[in-house]
Amino acid sequence: MSDNVYEKLEKAYSCIREKTSFVPEIALVLGSGLGAFADERVDIEAIVDYKDIEGFPVSTVIGHKGRFVFGTVGGVKVAVMQGRVHYYEGYPMTDVVMPARLLSMLGAKVLFLTNASGGISKKLGAGDFMLIRDHVACFVPNPLIGENVEQLGTRFPDMSNVYDNRLCEIIKNSAADLGIDLKEGVYAQLTGPSFETPAEIKMLGVMGVDAVGMSTAVEAIAARHAGMLVCGISCVANQAAGISPNPLTHDEVQETANKAAPRFKALIAECIENISDHLQLRDI
Ligand code: HPA
């Protein structure tokens, strides 16, 4: 099993390396509504379509492009995922986290995750941004289940500081510099694809969850396992089920995420430059 996982990663790595020798400092995963960041903000050096990478999972969600964009943002070398796959699409969890692991193999030291979520906490409304301080991932299969991939990391990785405190401070300062209001909270990943019931949202709220979505936490686990530093920002696209009186729709999520995108893109660009400046990533 672990050989399969690692062999698959090595094949995918070779496919990318046949096309580009680019080594990113920071890897960025673009969530709903953010795809245009790669076209607008990145000085592109290379593009690799997911479909051209052997064994790579390809997203079936409308509105998600499927490609790696390699280039620079304010001079910082980035690998951007324009589109991600979700567990609900039917891929095994090891495939869902394959991109995060590949980004580590390509040289990225930081994984910067973004997503859209439903707000549970009273302090979160549609259009708000939430810095992810911690996550609840125990409602989805752990992506490290199976024989441990020793080449990547240890069997029992620590998860007491998944979202790196230094990165969180840099992101908070970047938001303050831009005058962007940034909330903080705990993100829970559920499998989807159905939205939650009001009872599930009530349960998550009691458990201390501030926002809920269908991605991100498993990618963060795989990245930490591989030794990357992780950070994440969630765009609250709607109030979660039962908090809002209205039924939830994917269109509503997309629409709010699209509206928030200009501010979100500015924030991410600022964060990338500041993270690179502060952490001197080449020394990590
Ligand atoms: N629930 C789960 N995932 C989501 C939501 C939600 O309310 N909004 C955006 N992604």
Give the closest residue (by CA) to ligand 1 atom 9.
117
pLDDT in tens, 172-192: 999 999 999 999 999 999 999
Interval 198-249: pLDDT, tens: 999 999 999 999 999 999 999 999 999 999 999 999 999 999 999 988 888 9
Query: Which DSSP symbol is given to 282?
Result: G
Let me know if 1 is exposed, middle or buried by CB neighbors in 10 A (0-12, 13-18, 19+).
exposed
Token pair, residue 165, equals 């405190």
Q: d(Cα 58, Cα 106) in Å, to the nearest integer?
A: 19
> Does pLDDT of 282 surpass 70?
no
Give strand pairing partners of 202: none
46-102 pLDDT, tens digit per residue, is: 999 999 999 999 876 665 679 999 999 999 999 999 999 999 999 999 999 999 999
Q: Is 235 in the pocket of ligand 1 (CB under 6 A)?
A: no
Q: Residue 116: CB within 6 Å of ligand 1?
A: yes
- Catalytic residue status for 250: yes
CATH of domain 2-283: 3.40.50.1580
Whether residue 237 has its Cβ less than 6 Å from ligand 1: yes
Q: Is the CB of 248 under 6 A from ligand 1?
A: yes
Asked whether the predicted pLDDT for residue 3 surpasses 60, the reply is yes
* pLDDT at residue number 61: 66
238 is catalytic: yes
Map tokens 């009186």 to a residue.
245
d(CA 110, CA 167): 9
Q: How confident is the model at residue 154 (pLDDT cuts 50, 70, 90)?
A: very high
Q: For all residues of the chain together, what is the average pLDDT? A: 94
Peptide bond into 99 cis (omega under 30): no
Q: Whose CA is nearest to atom 6 of ligand 1?
A: 118
Query: How many angstroms separate the CA atoms of 82 and 31, rounded?
Result: 8
Structure token pair of residue 227? 């030794």
Say yes or no to pLDDT of 7 above 90.
yes
Contacts of 156 (CB under 8 A, 6+ apart): none
Tell me the torsion sign for CA atoms 192, 84, 222, 271: negative
pLDDT of residue 268 exceeding 80: yes
Strands 229-239 and 129-136 come out as antiparallel
Is 116 among the residues known to form the active site? yes
**Ligand 1 in reach of 217 Cβ (< 6 A):** no
Best residue among 128, 140, 243, 248 to mutate for probing ligand 1, ranked by most atoms within 8 Å of CB: 248
Ligand 1 centroid to residue 100 C-alpha, Å: 22
Pocket test of ligand 1: the residue of 113, 253, 264 to mutate, having most ligand atoms within 8 Å of its CB, is 253
Whether 116 contacts 124, CB under 8 Å: no
Distance between CA atoms of residues 237 and 257, nearest Å: 6
25, 38, 64, 219: the catalytic one is: 64
**Region 120-124 average pLDDT:** 97
